[in-house]
Amino acid sequence: MKNRLEEIRKSRGIRQEELASALGVSRQTIGSLENGRYNPSILLAFKLARYFGMQIEEIFIYEEDEG
Amino acid sequence: MKRKGFYRLLAAGGLAGMAAGLMLLRACPEGAARTAFYLMVGLGSGVFGHGAGMLLSFRAVKNAPDAARQLEIERKDERNVMIGNAAKGKAFDLMSYLYGALVFVFGFMEIGLAPLLLLVAAYLFVHGYAVYWRVRLEKEM
């Protein structure tokens, strides 16, 4: 699943460490999310969306052939 | 604080077990019971090490609340938890093959029926436990 997390985070001038701390996850988790290596739980996706004041679909892009 | 008390008890119990084992080894220079005393020393030192280690880590983060919070985050982090569980799953699969092979090897070595059956029972118990958790989690999730 692709996402716009890095783009959104950078546009708001937030460091990975700050975002991780605010969401209660490790910085590595944020890095892995941004690289697309890790898909978050629905809970973390909601936390991220709420943090940025956006909808989940605005951050994460679901592609039909992902299975 | 409750956890701290538990680890204090663990460290004290381990130390007591280790000391008792050493004293019993000195008091009893011969006999089959010495194996049990050696086990007491080994287990005691392991339990003491775990308890003391945890107490030391509590002390280390006592005056560093930021470090304590970071450690807690790392421990609960969903990706870390998932990685840990996946690693455990892989290790369990490997252990199943290795343990199965070991049972065969011991069978061919003719180590005796009683220890062989014990090994098979332990192997089946572990796999039965895995099935139990699968069924339970199927119901819960």
ipTM, two decimals, is 0.87
Domain ranges within chain A, ordered by starting residue? 2-61
Biggest CA–CA distance in chain B, Å, is 58
Looking at the fold, whether B25 and B43 belong to one and the same domain comes out as yes
- What lies within 8 Å, CB to CB, of A60 at 6+ separation is A1, A2, A3, A45
Does the distance separating the beta carbons of B78 and A29 come in below 8 Å?
yes
Q: Could you read off the pLDDT of B69-128 as tens digits, one per residue?
A: 888 899 999 999 999 999 999 999 999 999 999 999 999 998 889 999 999 999 999 999
- The answer to whether the CB of A61 falls within 8 A of the CB of A1 is yes
Domain boundary among B43, B76, B109: B76
Report the distance separating Cα A38 and Cα A56, nearest Å.
16
The verdict on pTM exceeding 0.90 is: no
- On whether any CB of chain A is under 8 Å from the CB of B2, the answer is no
Does the distance separating the beta carbons of A44 and B80 come in below 8 Å?
no
The domain made up of A2-61 has a fold known as 434 Repressor (Amino-terminal Domain) (1.10.260)
Strand partners, A2: A61
Task: Compute CA B106 distance to the chain's CA centroid, rounded to the nearest angstrom.
Answer: 24
Does the distance separating the beta carbons of A25 and B73 come in below 8 Å?
yes
Looking at the fold, whether B51 and B89 belong to one and the same domain comes out as no
Q: How many domains does chain B have?
A: 2
B76 interaction partners in chain A (CB closer than 8 Å) = 24
